[in-house]
Structure formats: structure tokens, C-alpha cells
Structure 1
Amino acid sequence: MNYEGVLTKMQTENGSPIQYYLIFENDFLNMNQLLDKKLSIKFLGYQCLNCKLQKKIYRQGFCYDCFFLIPQAADWVMRPELSTAHLDKEDRDLEYEKKVQLQPHIVYLANSSNVKVGVTRKAQIPTRWIDQGAHEAIEIVEVPNRYLAGITEVALKEHVSDKTNWRTMLKNEIEDEDLVDWRNRLKQYIPEEAQPYFIERNTETNLEFPVLRFPKKLKSLNLEKSPSYEGVLKGIKGQYLLFEDDTVFNVRGSEGYVVGLTIN
């Protein structure tokens, strides 16, 4: 079977295990069904996810020009504490910024390689945790806008990591943590403005990824340097495909790449 299209991050459906779907313009694949099958990936070019032009991807699936113009790639996306829509202040597109920033947001703890703090829209739970490859996670605070979530994250990351070690996550070299205990210990560091939104009573969510075998010595596939690859799919975790020869491929990190995919 042959498929061709522009890569975007895999869509997911929580379950036991999580279901992964690769979506192309005219086709979609349930990636779980491809476990233990040989896949061939061929790099064919670029297509910016915003302007749709065949221009080299700069970051996040966007070409250079779009990355510095569109609101989807503004600084507040990666640094929510920079959000200003609650002040009626525009960054790049106030209508878009109000739509995204002025909705319930969650500050959470997730354990993928270690316990880390993060921020996401409430509507993105548990998708955000799945994308990060977290095997357990818990909500700490639910606030009405992105700014409050951002300043809470900034305060908490003085006491807990805000980064994931992707190599540790993919090797599954992880230990279970008591996230309820972590949540309670971190409460004292939540900013005063966000204290009323602390979640007193909840339990952690556990996530199961479709992996037959975890890699031992990681080899990251870069399609620009290696435009053709073939391997047996052994697992999916986060937004990575894990292959039998320890090659790992970050689908989300390759958004905007046009690929040909052959299933043998």
C-alpha cells in the first residue's frame, strides 16, 4: 500500500492502548495496525501548513515568512505568561488570541522521563499528555485564561522541571511517581492570583502506549539528511514512531514535510 501527503502531528484517541492516526489530505492510517509491519518513508519536499506553498519549513510546520507573521506561532504559544488577550491587547491577531487565550487552561504535572510542569487548554486534556509521552499525569490548577496558567507555570518551574528528556522517555527508563503528593507539595508555590483555582481532589491519569519493544540505542531519523528509510514499526510513543533497528522518527517535528509512505 502506498500513501503520499503532508505530515502533521498524529491524531490520538485515548484507550488501552492509545490509538494513533496519521492523517493525509485524502487518506488516514490507524498506525496501531501497522505494528510489526515494514514501513518505507521517502522525503518528497515541503509544504507550509499555513500558506500551503512549497517552501522550506522553518519551525512548527511553517515556512520562515509565516512563522514570524501568524498568531499560531507567536511567542505566547510557547510562553503562555506572555499572553495579553485578557488585557484586550493585541500581539498579532487579537480575535484569534482571544479565542485561544480566553478559555479554561490547565496547569498539570506529567511524568514522561521525570515529573514536569506544563500548561495546556482544558480541551487538550489528555491529548497534550499523550503527545508528550507521559505515562501518568494530573491536573493542578484550572484557570479561566492562558495568562494565569502561564504565571503559575513560571512559579512552579522554580521547584520542578518544565522539560522532558525525550531519550529517557523513548527508552521507557522511567519510574512511577506519586503525583498527588507532588501536587500537594507544590501548592504553596502557586501565585496568589491562581490559588483559588487549585484542584484539591483528583487522581492521576495513567496512559498506555502501543509499544511492542522500546529502543535501546536511539538513532533519530532526519528526513533532510536521510531522505529514504525502511524499518519495522515496533511502537508509538508521544509523537514518535519506534522502529526495530532503534531508529526513532518524530512525526510532529517533521510537520510540513511531504512524504511517501509504503507499507510492505
Structure 2
Amino acid sequence: MLYEGVLRKMRTELGSPIQYFLVFKNDFINFNQVLNKKLKLEFIKFECLSCGRDRKIYRQGFCQNCFYESPSAGDWIMKPELSTAHLNKEDRDLEYEKKVQLQPHIVYLANSSNVKVGVTRKAQVPTRWIDQGAHEAIEIVEVPNRYLAGITEVALKNYVGDKTNWRKMLQNDIEDVNLVEWREKLKNHIPDEVMEYFITSNTETNLEFPVLQYPEKVKSLNLDKTPSFEGVLKGIKGQYLIFEDNIVFNVRGSEGYFVGININ
């Protein structure tokens, strides 16, 4: 069966295991149902997630113009500490920025390949952890805006990592740790203005991914270099499809690519 559409990050549903869906304009694929089947993936054209034009994707699913103009690609997306909506100051579109920044945010610890600190909107828990391929995670603070979450993350980065080793995550090279102990250890490093939002009594969330076979060595599929690929799907973790022969494909890293997917 042939499916066509523009790639966006896969939608997920919490379960044992997590359910993964690739949603197109007129159809969707539940990848859990096609494990061990052969998929043929073909790049057709670009489709910018903002303007919709067939322009080469620059970053985060946007063409170069939209990346520097769209409010959903502002620097505060990747660096929450740069958020200014709480000060009524505009970056690119104050109405949009207020909508996103002035809502509850979570600072969390997640363990994908190592323990790391991160920030997400409360509405994106546990989706954010799933997207990162974390097998365990815990909330540290819940704050009313993105700025407070950002300065907390910056403060804690001096004592814990803020990056995931995606290769180790995909190889399932993981170690279980006590995230409650980690949370307590980091408590004294939370900024004073955030301390009142510290979460004192919660437990770890554990996540199970639908993977039949992890890669021994990771080989990344790039649609620019390999516009047509065929392989047997062996698993899904984070935002990656894992194929036989150690090949992995980052769906989110290819947002804005219009593709055809044939499932046999």
C-alpha cells in the first residue's frame, strides 16, 4: 500500500509499548502494525512546514526564509531562557509567543543514553520524553512560563548533561538510575525565584518502545544522499525508525520532506 505526504514528527500514544503514528493530510500509518515488514521510502519534493512551498528545507522543517521569519522558529524555542513574552516584549509575533510561552512548563530529568535536564510545556508530557527515546523520566519543577523553565535548565546544566547521545540511545546502551535521588541532589542548584515550584513527591515514569532488534552500529539514512531506500522495519524509538542492517531514519530530522512510503 502506498502512502504520500509531508513528514512531520510522529505522533505517539503512551502504552506498553508506545504506539507510533505518521500522520499525513489524508491518511496515517501506525508503524507498530508494520514491524517486520518491508518499507520503501522515496523522497518526492520539499514542502516547507510554514509556507508550504517546494523550497529546500533549511532547519526544523522550514525553508531558509521561514526559519528566520516564522514565530515558531524563534531562538527561544531552542533556548527557553531567551523567552520575553512575560515581559510583554515581542520577538517575532507577541500574540503567538504569549500563547506558547505563558503556559505551564516542566523542567525534567530524562534518561535516554545518560541523565539529562530538559524543558517542555506541561501539555507535552510525556510526549517530549518519548521523542527523546527516554526509558525513564521525572519532573523537577512546574513553572507558569517558559522563561522560568529556561533559567532553571541553564542553572542545572552545570551539574547534569543537557544532550542525548542519540547513537547510544538507539543501540539501547542504557543504565537505569534513581532519578528521585538525582532530583534531590539538584534541588539546591535551582534558582531562588523558582524554588517554590519544586515538585517534592512524584515518581519516575518508565517508557517501553516497540523495538524487535536494536542496531549494533548506527548508520543514518539521509534522504538528500539516498532519495530512495528499502528495508525491513525492526523498531521505533524516539523519533527514529530502525531498519535491518543497522540503518536508522530520523523522521523529525526530515520534517518538510514530501515522501512516498510503500509497505509490503
Within 5 Å, give how 1:36-185 maps onto structure 2: 36-185=36-185
User: How far apart in 1 are the matches of 2:204 and 2:115?
Assistant: 12
- Cα deviation for residue 245 of structure 1 reads 1.0
User: Which SS does the other structure have where 1:50 is aligned?
Assistant: coil
C-alpha distance in 1 between matches for 2:231 and 2:209:
20
1:19 aligns with 2:19: yes
TM-score (norm 2): 1.00
Long gaps (5+) in structure 2:
none
Whole-angstrom CA distance in 2 between matches of 1:96 and 1:259? 30
Q: What code does the residue aligned with 1:83 have?
A: S
Amino acid corresponding to residue 141 of structure 1 in structure 2: V
1:202 aligns with 2:202: yes
**Which residue identity does 1:252 align to in structure 2?**
R
SS for the counterpart of 2:130 is helix
For 2:33 and 2:108, the matched residues in 1 are separated by 31
Alpha-carbon distance in 2 for matches of 1:29, 1:173? 28
Q: Classify the secondary structure of the residue corresponding to 2:262.
A: strand
Q: Matched residues in 2 for 1:7 and 1:158: separation?
A: 35
Shift of 1:187: 0.1
Count of residue pairs brought into register by the alignment: 264
| CA distance in structure 1 between the partners assigned to 2:64 and 2:192 by the alignment | 39
Q: Distance in 2 between matches of 1:245 and 1:262?
A: 19
SS of aligned partner of 2:245: coil
Amino acid at match of 1:86: H
Return structure 1 stretches of 4+ with deviation > 3 angstroms. none
TM-score by length of 1: 1.00
Deviations 1:141-191 (A, max 9, x none): 000000000000000000000000000000000000100000000000000
Give percent identity, aligned residues only. 75
Residue 68 of structure 1 aligns to a residue whose secondary structure is helix
Corresponding letter in the other structure for 2:170: L
Question: Secondary structure of the residue that 1:245 maps to in structure 2?
Answer: helix
Q: Take 1:73 and 1:46, find their aligned partners in 2: how far apart are those partners?
A: 18
SS at structure 2 position matched to 1:181? helix
- Take 2:33 and 2:186, find their aligned partners in 1: how far apart are those partners? 41
Q: Kindly report the root-mean-square deviation, in angstroms, between the aligned alpha carbons of the 2 structures.
A: 0.4
